[in-house]
């Protein structure tokens, strides 16, 4: 059973967000709890898939690559989750989400250029049953990219 994150869990995640290499001891001292408490809570949150501690690629360091946003419309709105599930199996996609608004699904990946994006969309996206239409955009200049964008907001 997965339990909700309490204030101590949220505080631990907040300490880990800028640098997951921070020691459990440092977190414990800043929160006024034992190191064992921090270790056990991190372990539980990982086991319950509430958090995942991992290295994050800095997209600013990729030369000759662009972040591609692929907006996808499905034939019928009740197909959105099914199509999104199939898209989630596409290894090159780093994000797939069912959206509200103009498009049903947003998928994000890295590509070399516009031609590479077009080839990818035609070969891997539009061939999925239920995809009616796609629209793609390339990110060219990132003013802010917070690698912790999935952090918990209060």
pLDDT in tens, 2-19: 788 999 999 999 999 888
Q: Which residues of the chain have pLDDT under 70?
A: 56-63, 145-154
Domains of the chain, first to last: 7-47 (1.10.10.10), 59-139 (3.30.70.920)
CA atoms of 60 and 37, how far apart (whole Å): 36
CA atoms of 31 and 38, how far apart (whole Å): 9
Beta strands per DSSP E along the chain: 66-74, 95-98, 105-111, 131-139
CA atoms of 44 and 23, how far apart (whole Å): 17
Whether pTM exceeds 0.85 = no
Assigned token pair, 80: 């959105």
């Amino acid at each position: 059973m997965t339990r909700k994150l309490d204030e101590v869990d949220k505080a631990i995640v907040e300490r880990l967000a800028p640098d997951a290499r921070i020691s459990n001891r440092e977190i414990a001292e800043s929160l006024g709890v034992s190191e064992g408490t921090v270790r056990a809570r991190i372990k539980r949150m990982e086991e319950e898939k509430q958090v995942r501690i991992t290295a994050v690629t800095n997209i600013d360091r990729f030369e000759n690559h662009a972040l591609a946003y692929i907006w996808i419309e499905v034939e019928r709105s009740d197909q959105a989750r099914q199509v999104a599930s199939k898209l989630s199996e596409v290894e090159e996609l780093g994000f797939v989400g069912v959206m509200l608004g103009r498009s049903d699904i947003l998928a994000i990946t890295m590509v070399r250029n516009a031609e590479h994006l077009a080839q990818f969309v035609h070969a891997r996206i539009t061939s999925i049953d239920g995809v009616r239409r796609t629209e793609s955009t390339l990110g060219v200049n990132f003013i802010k990219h917070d690698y912790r964008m999935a952090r918990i907001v209060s």
